[in-house]
């Protein structure tokens, strides 16, 4: 006979497959000294499976359900409804009925009980499934309990539960339901406790919501609760709500809504001493589970009882520091325009490549800014850099500094005047030539390398790469270009009242490898344009082997040659290219097809050279106009001469801004091909199962697998699950070692009341249709569209040639999207919080690229 029931005290994490997430959590709670949990028992998943086996029609319905997509709401509603009806009408075997009755008799037939669902895919570290299945309170008598157990089983297939599983990739057949049956507690007050503040994410703050009566009123959103915040045993915040309603148990079973007496509505649900006691109990629970918890509690007869504890799944992990000092971490992804989660191999290779130490958390990388913030000079330099790369990061750091200024807060600090960086135009070309020669040598020398020798070779070559990319000469070129832009914007505003002149002056600069990449794709579009059959063929291109099919079409060999020339030069690029595990265009060229077809539709033939020449001419005309006006001023000849020098530096050196990442990505492509060849060798030797397994190992772990042949399948599988969870998390721009996430804001006035505020990075005002694009390979752009997205890295450049403007959620003055928007003369606003949610796809908008805001029209 199966294990159909278990006493609550016999459950726990080791029994999660039998008792589900809620049951496992309750069993663990019951094991903690000093923590009260209402007595009860669990009807296990074996009982649930036994009932399903007795109803063959359910199996057919589950098969139908598995074929539905998460967006097929009518289909889900119909199929899930049929499954629920089948479960509620199914026969419950006698041995299960007897086992339930025995537990009820043991606990007391006269008691009222709570009957609560507990799914196996529930209260997981990666997905809470909160509220997806049903709970019933104040159920009295064995027949009523059995009836509500059936309802709980059926609630596994509510439309919302089915949709949630589909969205999170859970197989319906692999999720089972247990049911917890516990003695009812009739509380004076109840609520939810978070051992990390759910608003600020500060792990040092316990946040408690409390209201009168049963907790169901609070968790279902029917009442406004009191909120209490406790830090280190001290009550640091208190908001007392006017509590109009409570849910209470009725005589004979069930619950009812009742108005709270007017004389107590504004009273605290908990006394201050009770708040502190509850917070301490919450810390005890957190210590047992080893991570922040979301805990449901109730207060009855002066004692706290706990009826649920689950991990808080929305918290972003904190980088691990091996000390007890305070740290401030700044996101690398927000500077690199790649906030997606990286796989472990991608994280470790980028850490090897980076200049300085980077800390990993949640599949993202962070820099510890604590040392820089400890000195006035360091704070000034960091804030200045962040102002250029991402003003919201800068303001988040300022928010921390304003609240807790460092010793010697630097309020009167005057930064030293930095000498103007000097860099000759020839330096940029010299660095480019050196990097190209190094890649040719790398391709030759890496041939034939395998095993530990390959990994040692790559590690050594990364050292050579860093010497080129971070050399004093390379840094001088970057700094001089940025200084020239800043000098021109500052002096032209002071002397001529002209704002952001560098935006126009940096259009169509020479040797910008990323801007050239976008224009080069127009040449491929020009090759396609005379052949409508090829356009039709590309619209159906479904896999990365489509190039071979071109040869059978009129003009196919010409188009294929043009495409392959493009891939020879740019095939190492892709979206999220700082992650070495991402497929490159040379491996997955279908990613380019939507941009290519948009160019064929929206851009006239020969537009590449014309677009470049138009930008060059506009920059030249502005330069002439500015210099002529300057000569009319006092000391005009001197001002014009100084301005001309900075204009030359800007034009000659700005193109190099895009090259360091290009140099890194070119080498990554060579490393990637060698590592995939090594993975194929390991697959052939039976060491790993498939090539993509290597993505879930760090560089050093993969080296050891290659050396020893020892491969941990369970580690890779757990890393896959962890990565899927990381993908659903939103990385913070800034976070502290306490887990707090300060939010940056734009501090500007005199804007339209409904303006979506960001940072203007490329001059001009443009109106058009907003096109929301979350993945570059899914872009379906039409002429005149304004691209609205989360962020752009260099791989998005091919889209820029056929749009009118740009809006992104992330970015700063010197990030990729800003640089290329200026290069192409596109009005652009970056750093617009939640732009892809606040702007409806297809909505007409006006982009104010000079003043940094977007209007909804």
> Which residues form the catalytic set?
816
Distance, in Å, from the CA atom of 851 to the CA atom of 853, rounded to the nearest integer, reads: 6
260 contacts 212 by C-beta, under 8 angstroms: yes
Task: Count CB neighbours of 641 within 10 A.
Answer: 12
473 contacts 433 by C-beta, under 8 angstroms: no
Distance, in Å, from the CA atom of 205 to the CA atom of 76, rounded to the nearest integer, reads: 41
State residue 816 phi and psi, 5-degree precision.
Answer: -50, -55
Q: What angle do CA 291, 728, 24 make, to 5 degrees?
A: 40
330 contacts 386 by C-beta, under 8 angstroms: yes
Collapsing DSSP to helix, strand or coil, 552 comes out as: helix
Nearest alpha carbon to residue 679 among 455, 348, 459, 463: 455
Question: Tokens 């750093």 — which residue?
Answer: 831
Residue 668 tokens, joined: 């990554």
Strand pairing of 844-848 and 765-772? antiparallel
Q: Angle 472-496/425-445 helices, nearest 10 degrees?
A: 150
Collapsing DSSP to helix, strand or coil, 746 comes out as: coil
Q: What angle do CA 62, 63, 66 make, to 5 degrees?
A: 85
556 contacts 833 by C-beta, under 8 angstroms: no
- For the chain, helix (H) and strand (E) counts, in that order, are 30, 25
Q: How deeply is 208 buried, as exposed, middle or buried, from its count of CB atoms within 10 A (0-12, 13-18, 19+)?
A: buried
Give the bridge partners for 304, in sequence order: 299
Distance, in Å, from the CA atom of 588 to the CA atom of 629, rounded to the nearest integer, reads: 52
Residue 244 tokens, joined: 């109009």
Question: Tokens 């790649």 — which residue?
Answer: 338
Strand pairing of 785-789 and 765-772? parallel
Residue 350 tokens, joined: 């980028």
Nearest alpha carbon to residue 281 among 184, 191, 185, 188: 191
Distance, in Å, from the CA atom of 90 to the CA atom of 55, rounded to the nearest integer, reads: 6
For CA atoms 541, 547, 552, 554, the dihedral sign is: positive
Distance, in Å, from the CA atom of 445 to the CA atom of 427, rounded to the nearest integer, reads: 27
Nearest alpha carbon to residue 646 among 417, 415, 385, 422: 422
Nearest alpha carbon to residue 51 among 12, 94, 9, 22: 94
- Cα torsion at 341, 342, 344, 346 (round to 10°)? -170
DSSP result, 191-250: EEEESS-TTT--TTEEEEEEEES-THHHHTT-SPPEEEEEETTEEEEEE-----EEEEEP
Distance, in Å, from the CA atom of 770 to the CA atom of 845, rounded to the nearest integer, reads: 6
355 contacts 470 by C-beta, under 8 angstroms: yes
Distance, in Å, from the CA atom of 379 to the CA atom of 384, rounded to the nearest integer, reads: 8
Contacts of 323 (CB under 8 A, 6+ apart): none
DSSP result, 631-643: HTSTTHHHHHHHH
Q: How deeply is 117 buried, as exposed, middle or buried, from its count of CB atoms within 10 A (0-12, 13-18, 19+)?
A: buried
Distance, in Å, from the CA atom of 337 to the CA atom of 335, rounded to the nearest integer, reads: 6
């Amino acid at each position: 006979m199966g294990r159909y029931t278990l006493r609550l005290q016999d459950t726990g994490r080791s029994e999660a497959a039998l008792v589900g997430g809620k049951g496992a959590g309750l069993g663990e709670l019951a094991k903690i000294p000093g923590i009260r949990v209402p007595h009860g028992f669990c009807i296990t998943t074996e009982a649930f499976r036994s009932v399903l086996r007795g109803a063959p029609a359910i199996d057919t319905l589950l098969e139908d359900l598995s074929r539905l997509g998460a967006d097929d709401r009518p289909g889900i509603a119909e199929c899930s409804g049929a499954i629920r009806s089948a479960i509620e009408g199914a026969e419950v075997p006698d041995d299960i009925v007897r086992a339930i009755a025995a537990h009820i008799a043991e606990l007391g037939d006269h008691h009222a009980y709570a009957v609560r669902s507990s799914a196996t895919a529930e209260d997981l570290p990666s997905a809470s499934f909160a509220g997806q299945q049903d709970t019933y309170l104040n159920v009295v008598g064995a027949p009523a309990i059995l009836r509500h157990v059936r309802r709980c089983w059926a609630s596994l297939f509510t439309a919302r539960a089915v949709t949630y599983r589909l969205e999170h990739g859970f197989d319906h057949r692999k999720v089972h339901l247990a049911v917890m049956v516990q003695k009812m507690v009739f509380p004076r007050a109840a609520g939810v406790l978070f051992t990390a503040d759910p608003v600020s994410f500060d792990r040092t703050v316990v946040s408690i919501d409390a209201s009168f009566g049963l907790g169901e009123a609070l968790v279902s959103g029917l009442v406004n609760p009191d909120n209490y915040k406790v830090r280190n045993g001290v009550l640091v915040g208190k908001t007392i709500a006017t509590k109009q309603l409570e849910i209470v148990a009725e005589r004979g079973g069930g619950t009812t809504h009742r108005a709270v007496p007017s004389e107590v509505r504004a009273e605290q649900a908990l006394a201050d001493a009770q708040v502190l006691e509850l917070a301490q109990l919450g810390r005890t629970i957190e210590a047992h589970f080893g991570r922040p918890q979301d805990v449901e509690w109730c207060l009855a007869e002066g004692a706290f009882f706990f009826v649920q504890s689950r991990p808080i799944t929305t918290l972003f992990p904190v980088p691990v520091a091996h000390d007890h000092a305070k740290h401030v971490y700044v996101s690398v992804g927000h500077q690199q325009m790649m906030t997606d989660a990286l796989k472990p191999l991608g994280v470790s290779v980028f850490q090897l490549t980076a200049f300085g130490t980077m800390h990993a958390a949640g599949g993202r990388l962070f820099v510890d800014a604590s040392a820089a913030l400890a000195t006035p000079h360091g704070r000034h330099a960091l804030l200045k850099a962040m102002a250029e790369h991402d003003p919201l990061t800068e303001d988040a750091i300022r928010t921390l500094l304003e609240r807790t200024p460092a010793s010697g807060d630097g309020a009167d600090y005057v930064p030293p005047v930095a000498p103007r960086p000097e860099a000759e135009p020839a330096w940029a070309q010299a660095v480019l030539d050196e990097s190209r020669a190094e890649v040719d040598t790398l391709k030759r020398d890496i041939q034939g390398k395998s095993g530990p020798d390959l990994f040692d070779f790559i590690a050594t070559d990364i050292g050579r790469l860093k010497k080129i990319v971070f050399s004093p000469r390379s840094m001088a070129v970057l700094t001089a270009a940025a200084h020239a832009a800043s000098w021109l914007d500052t002096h032209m505003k002071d002397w001529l009242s002209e704002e952001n002149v560098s935006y126009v002056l940096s259009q169509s600069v020479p040797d910008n490898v990323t801007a050239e990449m976008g224009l080069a794709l127009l040449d491929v579009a020009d090759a396609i344009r005379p052949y409508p059959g090829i356009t039709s063929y590309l619209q159906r291109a479904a896999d990365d082997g489509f190039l071979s099919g071109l040869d059978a079409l009129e003009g196919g060999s010409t188009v294929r040659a043009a495409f392959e020339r493009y891939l020879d030069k740019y095939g190492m690029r892709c979206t999220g290219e700082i992650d070495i595990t991402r497929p490159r265009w040379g491996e997955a060229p279908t990613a380019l097809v939507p941009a290519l077809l948009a160019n064929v539709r929206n851009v006239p033939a020969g537009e590449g050279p014309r677009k470049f020449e138009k930008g060059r001419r506009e920059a030249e005309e502005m330069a002439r106009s500015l210099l002529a006006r300057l000569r009319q001023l006092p000391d005009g000849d001197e001002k014009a001469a100084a301005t001309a020098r900075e204009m030359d530096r800007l034009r000659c050196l700005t193109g190099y801004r895009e090259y360091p990442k290009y140099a890194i990505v070119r080498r990554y492509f060579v490393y990637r091909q060698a590592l995939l060849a090594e993975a194929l060798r390991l697959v052939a030797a039976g060491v790993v199962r498939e090539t993509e397994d290597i993505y879930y190992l760090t560089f050093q772990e993969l080296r050891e697998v290659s050396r020893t042949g020892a491969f941990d399948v369970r580690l890779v599988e757990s890393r896959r699950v962890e990565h899927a969870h990381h993908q659903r998390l939103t990385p913070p721009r800034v976070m502290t070692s306490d887990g707090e996430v300060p939010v940056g804001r734009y501090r500007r006035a005199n804007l339209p009341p409904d303006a979506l505020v960001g940072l203007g990075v490329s001059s001009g005002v443009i109106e058009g249709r907003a096109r929301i694009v979350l993945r570059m390979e899914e872009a379906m752009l039409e002429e005149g569209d304004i691209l609205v997205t989360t962020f752009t890295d260099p791989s998005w450049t091919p889209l820029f040639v056929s749009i009118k403007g740009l809006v992104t959620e992330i970015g700063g003055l010197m990030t990729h999207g800003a640089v290329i928007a200026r290069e192409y003369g596109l009005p652009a606003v970056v750093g617009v919080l939640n732009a892809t949610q606040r702007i409806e796809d297809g909505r007409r908008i006006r982009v104010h690229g000079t003043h940094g805001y977007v209007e909804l029209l």
